[in-house]
Amino acid sequence: MTMTLLIYILLGFIAFEHLYFLYLEMFLWTTKKGIKAFGLKSKEFAEDTKVLAANQGLYNGFLAAGIIYALLNNNMNFAVFFLTCVSIAGIYGAYSTKKITLFYIQAVPAIMTLILVLLT
């Protein structure tokens, strides 16, 4: 497998992740699946915060869109920018929520891919 193919696979995975985050946050936030996925306190808390979650989901969609654009246009400058954004979001999200799993799910794949893109 060439480095370029690996980078494209990883970019596709990261875009898919963020589309899934968009779906969870915008459409499933108040469901059992959404409450469980994000470890929310209660259904009432989910209802009270659903507008904030939808906004957060929209931002995840923008991250996915940027990465998809980079893939479709073979534009690694865009990929570097959006991978940096995803990395920072993952680092800050893990720090602010005190959930290290967020770091591994969001930031680590983006950081690894960013390093590969910068090395090629």
User: What percent of the chain is modeled with pLDDT above 70?
Assistant: 99
- Amino acid 99: pLDDT: 86
- Predicted confidence (pLDDT) at residue 1 exceeds the cutoff of 80: no
pLDDT tens for 48-62 read: 999 999 999 999 999
Q: Kindly tell me if the per-residue pLDDT of 115 is higher than 90.
A: yes
Helices 3-27 and 43-72 pack at an angle, to 10 degrees, of 150
Burial of residue 82 (CB within 10 Å: 0-12, 13-18, 19+) is buried
Does the pLDDT value for residue 120 go beyond 90? Answer: no
Task: Report pLDDT digits (tens) over 18-37.
Answer: 999 999 999 999 999 999 99
Half-sphere exposure in the Cβ direction for 17 (13 Å, CA): 19
Q: How confident is the model at residue 97 (pLDDT cuts 50, 70, 90)?
A: confident
Mean pLDDT (the chain) is 94
